[in-house]
Chains A and B, each alone.
Chain A
Amino acid sequence: MSEQEYVPKSKAGKWFNDRLPLLSLASHLTDYPTPKNLNYWWTFGGILTFCLLTQIITGIVLAMHYVAHADLAFASVEHIMRDVNYGWLIRYIHSNGASMFFLAVYIHIFRSLFYGSYKSPREIIWIIGLMIYLLMMAAAFMGYVLPWGQMSFWGATVITNLFSAIPLVGDSITTWLWGAYSVDNPTLTRFFSLHYLIPFLILGLVVLHIWALHVPGNNNPVGIDIKKPSKDTVPFHPYITIKDAFALLLFMIIFAGFVFFAPNVLGHSDNYIQANPMVTPAHIVPEWYLLPFYAILRSVPDKLGGVILMFGAIFILFVLPWLDTSKVRSAVFRPIYRQFFWILIVDVLVLGYVGAMPAEGIYLVLARVGTVYYFLHFLVILPVVGYLEKTEPVPLSISEPVLSGSADYSMAKKDNEKI
């Protein structure tokens, strides 16, 4: 926030701005120089903000009608679905919103992986982003427990039991987490409390995420440093806001498709059966967005080993900026890394798929191969490729590739010719 030149026109504005520079902040946000070659993969930051706010707003309304009690939770959800005005809409937006949130965050993360957005000088943005992602998983997991269906209960049982793998103190920790000797009413009430808290922590981290972003500015598809402001940049408003708005609308169409026409397709039918500690479902599976990690967890025959690998799979991402040795950011100019990037995507998809299947036979083999490859990618392939790869020539400025025939530019040119 170095642009100090902003001076409010009115006297009152100046008086206020000298005491609290909110107007300077607003001016910084609208004028923020943004690379003009950002493609649609860059619109997911805005989409994710929308997702977070949607979850918070619908969640606040749901909490007005929901009852966090083991005997009443399931019935209170049905009360929301049947008796609360548009309760079904609010709940379906919230439950599908979680899935859409994760869909968007995965695209956002893989965008960063492809274009090297995590590299210097953006390591802190990346790390804050991962902290947001971790909190998202915690919030989603606890939220899934709240309806107190069969999958809620047994999912909570499986996940909290992971902590019992910790040597010596594991059992005590698990009991402490439960607030009882099994998943029970105290577990439900504390999960509800935390589920309400976490989104606001995420909101705080989002502010830091954006703040950290505004120091070096956006990365871009070419991955080069650019001068700001310059011919290579456009002010955030209206150029990026209108593009984000368009992408958000497309995203909302897909979102609405799920909410109105397939609201339960991403959930598990067992969660419409009230939790019963005496009956274990045939297959306990988490929501789709946690499946790759579930596959990693189950690929190890030892419980503690599985837990370590599962958490390791996430924590390894924290040191990613230092594992990637390549000086070139964007995979556009990294022919070898580009291939491994797509293989990693397939690997994660395969892990997600086998995570939904019983841990036996071919699925177990696939899960193990997938797990080994996942770690191989980050620990071996990434550092080695960075050294050996012969990267393609990187342009000196954005205007260069843009001038030589970007789709947007030639289209705009054609439009101009028509006029």
Chain B
Amino acid sequence: MKKFKLFFCIFLSLTIFNTLKSAEQVDPIKVDWSFKGLLGKFDRASLQRGYQVYNEVCASCHSMQYLSYRNLGEPGGPEFSEEEVKAIAAGFEVTDGPDAQGEMFTRPGRPSDKFVSPYPNVNAAAAANGGAYPPDMSVLVKARKGGANYIYSVLVGYEDPPPGVTLDEGVYYNKYMIGNKIKMPNNLSDGLVEYADGTVSTVDQMAKDVTTFLSWAAEPELETRHKTGVKVILYLVLLSILVFLSMKRIWSRVNSEE
């Protein structure tokens, strides 16, 4: 056992040594998100503002193909009213068809439609953006190490390149991006969007709001998951106490026989 503990200490110190070593990459900023933790919930107002930022800024390049407009009105999300969702959907032109004549046609969007993508396909998206495909944002937060913290950090991490670093045309320096080079320009500037609820749209505020929105988009089930999880675990704990007591009782028969 002593030897085991010794080895375990060596093992642990190796693990810690490693985390120190990989600190060359700047760690993402830690934000105290409302949706973290066992009972974490999304900030409804932030989600609605975040959708606005996504729609007015990100959506011109980034698709969100796995979401439907109806999702915007579902519980646990931005919870826009039914009317608002209909209005949002109707603001997009959706290609439908073929009709009885075999022709494709466009019509205003409906809540059941998927989010309309800015480009017809990945190649078109890449071609329009200097060869770099702006990733689909549906599950982006889950697809990046560091999750919401990382996305937020990249959004606020634009800097002038340090001396000695030269950047090609259309490449920008970002403190938190892996490799520090990013093909997305810094699209956020103070006052860029006019929030409907009157919140001051600083870069930091917009970055936080849109990251919250993207976190919901990646995990629309998060609030239900947390709520159900608490109930499930409470139930299991209670049941295991009952089973434990029954077990003690049953086994006492064996032990008292002797």
Interface on A for B, CB 8 Å cutoff? 36, 75, 78-79, 81-82, 88-89, 92, 231, 234, 238-239, 242-243, 245-246, 249-250, 252-253, 256-257, 259-261, 263-264, 269-270, 272-273, 282, 339, 342-343, 345-346, 349-350, 353, 357, 366, 399, 403, 408-409, 411-413, 415-416
A412 CB contacts on chain B under 8 angstroms = 248, 251-252, 254-256
Q: Mark B172-212, 1 if CB is under 8 A from A, else 0.
A: 00000010000000000000000000000000000000000
Across the interface, do B256 and A416 meet the contact criterion of CB distance under 8 Å?
yes
Q: Is B108 located at the chain interface by the 8 A CB criterion?
A: no
Q: Counting CB contacts under 8 A, is B236 at the interface?
A: yes
* B252 CB, min distance to chain A CBs, angstroms: 5
Complexed CA–CA distance, A413 and B229 (Å): 38
**Interchain residue pairs with CB less than 8 A apart (5):** A249-B243, A253-B233, A253-B236, A261-B38, A342-B1
Q: Would A78 and B142 count as touching, CB distance under 8 A?
A: no
Which residues from A are CB-within-8-Å of B244?
246
B residues 195-250 near A (Cβ < 8 Å) are 218, 220-221, 225-226, 228-230, 232-233, 236-237, 239-240, 243-244, 246-248, 250
Residue numbers in A under 8 Å from B139 (CB-CB): 78, 272
Contact of A242 among B1, B71, B178, B243 (CB under 8 A): B243
Asked if B138 lies at the interface with its beta carbon under 8 angstroms from chain A, I say yes
| A252 adjacent to B11 (CB under 8 Å) | no
Q: Which of A250, A272, A413 contacts B142 (CB 8 A)?
A: A272
- A346 x B8 contact (CB < 8 A): yes
Contacts of B145 on A, CB cut-off 8 Å? 269
5 extra A-B contacts, CB within 8 A, seeds A242-B246, A343-B3, A350-B11: A261-B225, A272-B143, A342-B3, A346-B7, A412-B256
Measured between C-beta atoms, what is the minimum distance from B20 to chain A in Å? 13
Residue of A nearest to B66 (CB): A78
Interface range on chain B: under 10, 10 to 19, 20 to 34, or 35 or more? Answer: 35 or more
Q: A260 and B228 in contact (CB under 8 A), knowing A242-B247, A249-B240, A269-B145?
A: yes
Q: Give the residue of A249, A349, A366 whose beta carbon is less than 8 angstroms from that of B239.
A: A249
**Cα separation A253 to B233 with both chains bound (whole Å):** 6
Within the complex, which residue of A36, A263, A273 is in contact with B135, where a contact is CB–CB below 8 Å?
Answer: A273
B101 contacts A by Cβ under 8 Å: no
* CB <8 Å contact, A257 and B7: no
Give residues 96-144 of B contacting A (CB, 8 Å). Answer: 135, 138-139, 142-144
Taking the closest CB of chain A, its distance from the CB of B73, in whole angstroms, is 14
Rounded to whole Å, the gap between the CB of B107 and the closest CB of chain A is: 22
Output the least CB separation between A331 and chain B (Å). 12
Q: Which residues of B contact A260 (CB under 8 A)?
A: 225-226, 228-230, 232-233
Is B7 within 8 A of A343, CB to CB? Answer: yes
B residues near A366, Cβ cutoff 8 Å: 14
B166 at the interface (CB under 8 A from A): no
A2 to chain B: closest CB distance in Å? 24
**A82 neighbours in B (Cβ, 8 Å):** 66-67, 71, 220
By the criterion CB–CB under 8 Å, are A246 and B243 in contact? yes
Q: Which residues of B contact A264 (CB under 8 A)?
A: 142
Is B258 engaged at the interface, CB distance under 8 Å to the other chain? yes
Determine if A256 and B232 form an interchain contact, defined as CB atoms under 8 angstroms apart.
yes
**CB-CB nearest in chain B for A273:** B143
A409 to B258, CA, bound (A): 10
Chain B residues whose C-beta falls within 8 Å of the C-beta of A88 in the assembled complex: 221, 225
CB-CB < 8 A to A415: which residues of B?
Answer: 248, 252
The smallest C-beta distance from A277 to any residue of chain B, in angstroms, reads 13
Give, as a whole number of angstroms, the nearest-CB distance from A159 to chain B.
Answer: 22
Residues on B with beta carbons closer than 8 Å to the beta carbon of A342? 1, 3-4, 7
A259 to B178 alpha-carbon distance, docked (Å): 29
Residue of A nearest to B217 (CB): A82
Q: How far is the CA of A265 from the CA of B76 in the complex (A)?
A: 22
Q: Taking the nearest CB of chain A, how far is it from the CB of B21, in angstroms?
A: 9
Residues of B within 8 A of A349 (CB): 11
Contacts of B248 on A, CB cut-off 8 Å? 411-412, 415
A-chain residues with CB within 8 Å of residue B236 when the two chains form the complex: 249, 252-253, 256
Q: Which residues of A contact B243 (CB under 8 A)?
A: 242, 245-246, 249
Specify which of B14, B18, B244, B254 lies most central, judged by the most chain A CB atoms within 10 Å of its CB: B254
Given contacts A261-B226, A346-B4, contact A81 B221 (CB under 8 A): yes
Question: In the complex, what residues of B have CB within 8 A of residue A81's CB?
Answer: 221
Chain B residue at minimal CB-CB distance from A243: B247
Measured between beta carbons, the chain B residues less than 8 angstroms from A408 are 251, 255
Residues in chain B near residue A253, CB distance under 8 A: 233, 236-237, 240
| Residue pair B142, A36 in contact (C-beta under 8 Å) | no
Residue of B nearest to A92 (CB): B225
Hey, which chain B residues are within 8 Å of A246, CB to CB? 240, 243-244, 247
| Distance of A4 Cα from B225 Cα, bound (Å) | 51
B-chain residues with CB within 8 Å of residue A345 when the two chains form the complex: 4
Taking a contact as CB atoms under 8 Å apart, the answer to whether A409 and B143 are in contact is no
**In the complex, per-residue mask of B63-107: 1 if CB is within 8 Å of any chain A CB, else 0:** 001110001000000000000000000000000000000000000
Tell whether, in the assembled complex, residue B256 and residue A357 are in contact, meaning their CB atoms are under 8 Å apart: no
Within the assembled complex, what's the spacing in Å between the Cα atoms of A170 and B45? 59
A250 and B11 alpha carbons, distance in the complex (Å): 27
B14 adjacent to A353 (CB under 8 Å): yes
A409: chain B residues at CB < 8 Å are 255
Closest to B135 in A: A273
Question: What is the minimal beta-carbon distance from A272 to any residue of chain B, in angstroms?
Answer: 4
Interface centre among B67, B143, B237 (most CB of A within 10 A): B143
Nearest opposing residue in chain A for B258, CB measure: A403
Instruction: Identify which of residues 16-69 in chain B touch chain A, using a CB-to-CB cut-off of 8 Å.
Output: 18, 38, 65-67
Chain A residues in 8 Å Cβ range of B220: 82
Q: How far is the CB of B153 from chain A (nearest CB, A)?
A: 15
Q: Please state if A234 and B254 are interface contacts (CB–CB under 8 Å).
A: yes
Closest residue of chain A to B140, judged by CB? Answer: A272
Known: A246-B244, A260-B232, A261-B229. A269 touches B143 (CB 8 A): yes
CA distance A349 to B9 in the complex (A): 12
Nearest CB in chain B to that of A83: its residue = B68
Query: Chain A residue with minimal CB distance to B67?
Result: A82
Set of chain B residues within 8 Å of A270, measured between Cβ atoms = 143
Contact of B229 among A243, A256, A273, A282 (CB under 8 A): A256
